[in-house]
Structure 1
Amino acid sequence: MWCQRLAWLLRGRRGSAGRRWPWLPRGPGPVLAVPARCHPTAPASPCCAWQLHQDHLELRYGSTVMRLDFVWLRDHCRSASCYNAKTSQRSLDTASVDLAIQPQAVRVDETTLFLTWPDGHVTRYGLEWLARNSYEGQKQQVMHPRILWNAEIYQQAQVPSIDCRSFLETDEGLKEFLQNFLLYGIAFVENVPPTKEDTEILAKRISIIRETIYGRMWYFTSDFSRGDTAYTKLALDRHTDTTYFQEPCGIQVFHCLKHEGTGGRTLLVDGFHAAEQVLHQAPEHFELLAKVPLKHEYVENVGGCHNHMIGVGPVLNIYPWNNELYLIRYNNYDR
């Protein structure tokens, strides 16, 4: 029953080519119940028109045409009895929603859609909220705006590093760091004292620290104390780390505490920029990298460390509703 209800809630999603997801049931064809109406709006507001069908409401707001299933609308009611605004959590039991539910009355004003349900319950939806949260609205949105770069672009951008004191003690310093990180995928903090303890203080300023098979914070050098190429003197080519985790780490903090001799240069690559090039030059290859799962594996038997971890997933991970790339999982050493 739950699978059926979840499928019903998702049945309006379509793929990038407009194809309905093959594992979701098709609903009955639309039956016109009420003629389309264009309601007067304030001069600065976009025209809103709606059309009632057997199982959904078609709503045009500005340039967005939304197909809003009645079950989805009832499930997303934000009234006090259906949604706890203090915890931002749903109170309504989705399993209690009748799959054949239809509103008894529909009304739209300049900013709000009003639906009256068979039990008399009235739901109010802001039109802007619907435009942002509908399937059609989600397709038009970018979840994570980014600036794609190569060496030349990044050098010309002259992205500033953040001083450690400003980063730790001011909201402006933290904000600038986070903006750099979210836009470019990398960011730098200068003048951090060369200790693990100070590095941990800095890391906690960004987020919680995730426990791993290496611990929460750890040293590494070319002593082969762990069964990984990173603990050798061999150069490392381009890769992403922790591909063998079920969920690879999203943020990594590196701090060079001491350097003697030569070598040790860091190679940074914008994988999203590389993926964009593949998409334009060989879209069939992009599709292959986004669909075919690869197994990444970490096998360690060094000293007292015995670990065997496997992570499976495609190289390019994209949101299915707007084809936006959000994660790259690739490490040729661990395949």
Structure 2
Amino acid sequence: MSPAPTLQPGIDGSFITVFWPGGRSSRYHAVWLRDHGQDAASRDPGNGQKKLSATDLPSGLCIRGATLNGSRLKVSFDDGSLTWLDLDWLRRHAYDRTDGETLIPKGRKTWAGDLDADGVMESFPRVADDPAVLEKWLRWVDTLGFARLRDVPAVPGAVLDVIALFGFVRETNYGRLFEVRSEPDPVNLAYTRMGLDPHTDNPYRDPVPTLQFLHCLENSAGGGESNVVDGFRVAEILRREDPARFALLSRYNVTFRYCGDGRSDLTAHRPMLEVSPDGQLVQVRINSRSFQSLTGVPYDLVPDFYAAYRHLEEITRRPEVSVTFRMEPGELFVVDNTRVLHGRGGFTKTGLRWLQGAYADIDGLRSTLALLGRRHAA
């Protein structure tokens, strides 16, 4: 039997300290414990939704008593209420941390050009038939922001079958599906034979589509190799090389716009490097084709802002941060569009390079991933 944790109430009753086996300890405020109570009066036992609102939590709430009962912490409060919390849950959700501010959110792993593109490749039939393989593949997307599939039928619409494994299509003005191939009068530069610098898609939307899928139906053209770049790693490099420039790009909104198809006029005002109040990266938006006039930056800082913008894009073009691969018919890749940039080399006029794309949202992927993990743990 593993050793049990021990408790030490705070002198004034405003918090309690739990000493965990192994030497770690966590403090929890009385109001936090009451808010996260898991008894039936606090949380619906069927759907897990909380029944308490902030106005139900008394100001100055204090702990009157706390005991351990098996796998639960039982807590009584000075307003007469009583609740309990599962100890494993309590430890996983400890917020009394001293590990300092980190730029990269927990659970994300940054990478550079040494990432093995074949090492994040799986077979579509295996992913479709085996929940454990699906969980592994979705975990790559969630952790790295990038994964690949082979053996996807090279027929139009097959990308939708991949998305259906975990979630739903995010339909846009481009439709449920969009064709990435050269056109005589393109509404987007992606529909030409020219190379595309690494970029995130649709920064002119708020919110952006968080997942992008590209599925190869034919590739007989010369050139046109795909490349991906981890925007979170790029942001790390920029902050290390010039913290002031990182701060500029995360402080000020810029304008992104698209109105190229005659049916849409989409505009968003967001920072290129979005950082949360607690100092963690939320999203990168890098797309020079959609970047509009700079009006939100103070006059005296505009030259510095452009220097920072140029520095950021220069990092995205460094060979050591880019992973390059050639797509063959039946192959597909997905990127977390809030984080990973994608691009391509130019391709020849002879032969055909035809990709079919679609967007989805990462909340559905993470929901499926959580359910698969829970099933695996059971």
Is 1:188–2:148 an aligned residue pair? yes
Pick one of 75, 80, 105 that aligns with 2:35.
75
- 1:145 maps to what in 2? 107
The residue correspondences of 1:9-158 to structure 2 (distance < 5 A) are: 44-53=3-12, 56-59=14-17, 61-62=19-20, 63-66=24-27, 68=29, 70-103=30-63, 105-109=64-68, 112-137=72-97, 144-151=106-113, 153-155=114-116
The residue correspondences of 1:1-335 to structure 2 (distance < 5 A) are: 44-53=3-12, 56-59=14-17, 61-62=19-20, 63-66=24-27, 68=29, 70-103=30-63, 105-109=64-68, 112-137=72-97, 144-151=106-113, 153-155=114-116, 159-223=119-183, 227-300=187-260, 302=261, 305-321=262-278, 323-335=279-291
Q: Is the 8 A contact 1:106 1:113 kept in 2?
A: no
Query: Following TM superposition, by how much is the alpha carbon of 1:106 offset from its aligned partner in structure 2, in angstroms?
Result: 2.0
TM (normalized to structure 2)?
0.66
Q: Is the 8 A contact 1:66 1:131 kept in 2?
A: no
CA distance in 2, matches of 1:53, 1:224: 74
Per residue, is there more strand in 1 or in 2? Answer: 2
Uncovered stretches (5+) of structure 2, i.e. residues with no partner: 292-378
CA distance in 2, matches of 1:99, 1:225: 64
Query: Following TM superposition, by how much is the alpha carbon of 1:292 offset from its aligned partner in structure 2, in angstroms?
Result: 2.3
CA displacement, residues 230-275 of structure 1 (integer Å, 9 cap, x when unaligned): 1223221011111111112221110121234333221211112222
CA distance in 1, matches of 2:105, 2:45: 23
Uncovered stretches (5+) of structure 1, i.e. residues with no partner: 1-41
CA distance in 2, matches of 1:280, 1:257: 41
Provide the aligned length of Structure 1 versus Structure 2.
Answer: 285
Q: Is the 8 A contact 1:147 1:183 kept in 2?
A: yes
The percent identity for this pair of structures is 24
CA distance in 2, matches of 1:127, 1:172: 28
- 2:329 maps to what in 1? none
Query: Following TM superposition, by how much is the alpha carbon of 1:209 offset from its aligned partner in structure 2, in angstroms?
Result: 0.9
CA distance in 1, matches of 2:253, 2:96: 28
By relative contact order (CA 8 Å, sep 6+), the higher-ranking structure is 2
